[in-house]
Homo-oligomer: A and B are copies of this chain.
Amino acid sequence: MKTRDKILLSSLELFNERGERNITTNHIAAHLAISPGNLYYHFRNKSDIIYEIFLEYEKLVDFYLDIPEDRSITLEDLTFYLESVFDGLWSYRFFHRDLEYLLDSDRRLRQDYREFTNRCLVAISRIFEKLAEAGIIQPQPEELRSAMSLNVWLVITNWMAFLKTAHALDESTSLTLKELKQGIYQVLTLEIPYLTADYREQVMALREKYRPSLPESADASGEGCRSDQTLRNF
């Protein structure tokens, strides 16, 4: 594998594990056992590394959120979209953590991310539309649909931050992809009231599969019995 690609891979790995803020270019070079000079031969600066990683992320999500226009949509499609989005979120999880800072440091990134968000919102809205066409949810006026899409986006992009902060974890206890995917439960919660009678049971059963399980509860770690009634559900 080319050094350039190794740098991207290691950077992503380190960023995901310890946060972009805590990883310097020197760390990345050391982790690869190459010199800083070498790293800077391949990338002009740290921002450039991050930008290229973003482009990969963008490509991945765009690929998964390509809504077919020649056929109607099924519950399996919905599951696929949700699973894929959370997979992407997981693989590039460092990104949303320091998003604001990253966008402030790189104009290209800000612009691209803005357009990326927009495409995602359009895709989510289109999924709602097609779910209605397929008789899975009730059709909604455009205005409501786009507000709902935005809520879905907000829930998805904030779910991981919530998990990390709700956990009583030190650096030791780390998040798992499985826990992350419990965000799907939250997303499906948003759709409940709009389900048609025909599909209600099926979707509720699907949702149930993602229900957060007790064992991972932050409180089950023996920290004592605080009044975590609400978090108990997680």
**A residues with CB within 8 A of B:** 19, 21, 97-101, 103-104, 107, 110-111, 113-115, 117-118, 121-122, 125, 143-144, 146-151, 153-155, 157-159, 161-162, 164-168, 170-171, 185-186, 189-190, 192-194, 218, 226-231, 233
Contacts and interface: CB of A to CB of B under 8 A. Distances in A.
Given A154-B155, A155-B155, A97 B100 contact: yes
B147 A227 contact: no
B19 A100 contact: yes
A143 to B, nearest CB: 7
Contacts of A97: 100-101
| 10 A-B pairs with the lowest CB-CB distances in the bound complex, closest first | A193-B193, A158-B158, A121-B230, A147-B189, A154-B158, A154-B155, A122-B230, A97-B100, A146-B233, A118-B231
Contact of A162 (B19, B154, B162, B229): B154
A149 B231 CA distance: 11
Given A114-B218, A115-B226, A189-B148, A162 B153 contact: yes
A118 B230 CA distance: 7
